[in-house]
Amino acid sequence: MPETPEPPTDRPALRRAALGTADISFFVVSAAAPLTVMAGVAPVAILLGGIGAPAGYLLAGLTLAVFAVGFTTMSRHVRSGGAFYAYITRGLGKRVGIGAALLALVGYNGMEIGVYGLLGTTTADTAHALGGLDVPWLPVSLAGLALIWYGGFRSIDFGAKLLGVLLVAETGILVLLAAGVLLKGGAHGLSIGSFAPGAVLVPGTAAVLAFAFAAFTGFESTVIYRREARDPDRTIPRATYIAVAFLGLFYAFIVWTVIQAFGAEEVMAAAAADPGGLFFAAITTYVGPWAADLMHLFIVTSVIASLLAFHNAINRYALALAEEGVLPAALGRVHPRHRSPYLAGLAQTALGAVIVLAFALAGADPYQQLLLWVNTPGMIGLMALMLLAAIAVPVYFRGTAHTEGPWRTLVAPLAAAVLLAVAICLVVSRVGLFTMASTTVNTVLVALVPAVFLAGLALAQHLKTRRSETYARFAAEPATDVPEGEQPCPLPTPSSPEPASAPSTPAAPRPAR
């Protein structure tokens, strides 16, 4: 895909006005990996929650939509490239903001690097299912690292186009399955019993909610692309709401159609007998074996799309922190042609390679250990960041002159904070479902999240005492805001100190071979 070079500047910056609403939506929905979540995780949700599982995805989507109200409102007032940590800094102060920055960096890296283990296993399973080949996982994961690095190295619009194609493929195969089920009327006719109170208000719904919240991970990354968005005050909120609405409705619809494919009584037995093969059996019956083969292939591309989406988000977080002076300045360099944070991408790829190789040398299982053990603390960390951001919104607006209404600045953020706190408790209390590990391992994985945040607080104290200028300008607004669509300007230079601020992918059965 040819790229049009932009006029040279004194210092290259991210490409301005490169992304529209659809492009940003592709990034955030791809990060959630809908096909992988459905084929790999939804059968476990059905097994635990029964036929009421689809409602769990709707409830999770509604909760995150409430969170998005305050989140997107604040996006119109905070123009920093730091996303989560910038919002939290504005509301809760620099110390908490720096703690959040470190947690975001570790959380997003955890969400991506663990998935290289999933890439290896899904590719191996697909090769075995389609050709009877036994493919080792490590070379696949290392090849994936190189492929994702290249995708992040190229321009952001190149990534958006690629993700658009991959996302259409993975959602298209699920739509094909749903269409086959609906046209044939399911196993015993179509029923909306999944949404009846008696099906939803059961003990297993709590576990379903834990899986459902995890299935949305990455949707909040819309704000990371603010500097590259066209008319960000409109495109960022639109992309956020589109991502939440699409994922919530799509997940619920697809899970409901799979229940119809087997029947309310039979689906539990089918999920218990072969959870990893549930979706493949359904699409084979209602569409044909050729569609099951396509689903195998598209699960691999779904994982690749998720990796690329998270890689781009991580690179922009690292770029923002390098501009702040928290990370080495070299990570803030932008490629003069592709306008990508290429050194941040190279560093992230190197970190991923080190962790993947370390797990391989230790003889760890790429799925049960590399994926689940690395992903789980990343997922919990990102949920904790959403909670802090929800709390930061009303605190910020309480001390700032604005014209926003109380629903956006107080009611919705507080409601979201309560709901997110409940969601985090659900995930932590059922963390064994995500990790398949011992109590000791689970304790360590959960404890990593507060440990990283505390390390961030210690880093904040170090910056305040030893590098006071860096601390003072942390998460400061850019001195100027270039109109969208104009030639990009150099990266912002340090401004004067701002006034002090006011006080997995979850566990899933591997696809059947």
Q: In 3D, which of 500, 376, 367, 512 has the Cα closest to residue 443? A: 376
pLDDT bracket for residue 2 (50, 70, 90): very low
Q: Examine residue 510 and state whether it is found in any structural domain, yes or no.
A: no
pLDDT of residue 489: 39
- What 3 state SS string does 233-268 have? HHHHHHHHHHHHHHHHHHHHHHHHHHHHHHCCCHHH
Asked, for residue 512, whether it belongs to a domain, the answer is no
Determine, yes or no, domain membership for 167: yes
Query: Does residue 11 lie in a domain region?
Result: no
Looking up residue 183, the CATH number of its domain turns out to be: 1.20.1740.10
Residue with tokens 């006005």: 17
Average pLDDT over residues 24-38: 88
Judged against a pLDDT cut of 70, whether residue 5 lies above it is answered with no
User: Phi and psi (nearest 5°) for 461?
Assistant: -65, -40
Q: Report whether pLDDT(428) > 60.
A: yes
> How many alpha carbons lie under 13 Å from residue 435 in its C-beta half-sphere?
24
Instruction: Give the global pTM.
Output: 0.86
Amino acid at 367: Y
Question: Do 74 and 226 meet the contact criterion of CB atoms below 8 Å apart?
Answer: no
Query: Which ranges of 362-490 does DSSP label H, i.e. alpha helix?
Result: 372-398, 406, 412-429, 431-435, 439-466, 468-472
3-state secondary structure of 229: strand
Mean pLDDT: which of 2-6, 320-324, 404-408, 441-445 is highest? Answer: 441-445
Domain contains 391: yes
Q: What's the distance, CA 117 to chain centroid?
A: 17
CA pseudo-torsion sign 390, 391, 392, 395: positive
Mean pLDDT is lowest, of 92-106, 132-146, 326-340, 487-501, for 487-501
pLDDT of residue 448: 96
Q: Residue 412: which residues within 8 A CB-CB, separation 6 or more?
A: 66, 67, 69, 70
Write out the two tokens for 257: 């159609």
- Distance CA(497)–CA(470), nearest Å, equals 9
Domain extent for 379: 21-472
CA 400 to CA 390: how far, in whole Å? 16
Crossing angle for the helix pair 289-324 and 342-361, to the nearest 10 degrees? 120
Position 6 in a domain: no
Per-residue pLDDT averaged across 268-295, rounded?
93
Question: Model confidence over 341-358: pLDDT tens digits?
Answer: 999 999 999 999 999 999
Nearest Cα to 300, choosing from 130, 167, 122, 177?
A: 122
The answer to whether position 319 is within a domain reads yes
Predicted confidence at residue 217, as pLDDT, reads 77
Structure confidence at residue 10 (pLDDT): 61
Q: What is the tally of structural domains in the chain?
A: 1
pLDDT of 72 > 60? The answer is yes
pLDDT of residue 507: 45
What pLDDT is stored for residue 440 in this prediction?
95
- Mean pLDDT to the nearest integer, 148-158: 87
The first and second tokens of residue 389, run together, are 């951001």
What tokens appear for 455 in the block?
Answer: 């390390």
Mean pLDDT, residues 370-378: 92
- Taking residues 283-308, report their average pLDDT: 94
Asked if residue 297 belongs to a domain, the reply is yes
Q: Which one has a higher pLDDT value, 1 or 250? A: 250
Task: Count CB atoms within 10 A of the CB of residue 188.
Answer: 12
**Over residues 166-170, mean pLDDT:** 91
